[in-house]
Chain A
Amino acid sequence: NAGVTQTPKFQVLKTGQSMTLQCAQDMNHEYMSWYRQDPGMGLRLIHYSVGAGITDQGEVPNGYNVSRSTTEDFPLRLLSAAPSQTSVYFCASRGPGLASSTDTQYFGPGTRLTVL
């Protein structure tokens, strides 16, 4: 199993541009989430999904959009990038699924985004 994969690894955007951060998992997990990590702020939840077709907002959802059309994929869209969205973005998934506890979150390697 590849676990949780994220693309791209690095991205530079100009203010106002839009882009989609990709996240996929092959563990058949129902729960997926997106976090951003900023210095001194810790990981903050942006959006999450408890299954295909179901999404909800986390702590810092403004400026981001998500959808969940399949169990495997959970893309994060930046509609109009702003410098305040410069951060490291992590996708995570959680069971039940293949040989995993429902309580353990598995994180992807992250996407480093810079907005100029």
Chain B
Amino acid sequence: SQKIEQNSEALNIQEGKTATLTCNYTNYSPAYLQWYRQDPGRGPVFLLLIRENEKEKRKERLKVTFDTTLKQSLFHITASQPADSATYLCALRGNQFYFGTGTSLTVIP
């Protein structure tokens, strides 16, 4: 099965800075990769999807990159705000969905 590692269990950054979260995977390259946001006590909420033939995807202050050679995706939040504090999960679509354990982000005012 696919193994997914999300670096940095917890990440603390100052408001206004760019947060960068990492998702590394082993085995085969997925058809696409997704990023989700999860707040305490709630289910994950879909943020962005990037396909294997795409290098970069943007949505407002969010940017995702996908490097199939490195088997890695980077998730960036620019001009971070305290409201961005949450756990961020990456998920791969192979024959089924595989999720990483998540990175907890805290944006300090």
Contacts and interface: CB of A to CB of B under 8 A. Distances in A.
Interface of A: 4, 33, 35, 40-45, 48, 58-59, 90, 92, 101, 103-110
Interface string B87-109: 00101010011111110000000
Nearest to B47: A104
A6 to B, nearest CB: 8
Nearest to B43: A107
B42 interface: yes
B42 A42 contact: no
A106 B46 contact: yes
B44 interface: yes
B101 A58 contact: no
Interface of B: 1, 4, 32, 34, 36, 41-46, 49, 89, 91, 93, 96-102
Contact of A42 (B1, B46, B49, B99): B99
B59 to A, nearest CB: 13
Contacts of B98: 45, 59
Nearest to A9: B41
Contacts of A33: 97
B15 to A, nearest CB: 28
Contacts of A45: 96-98
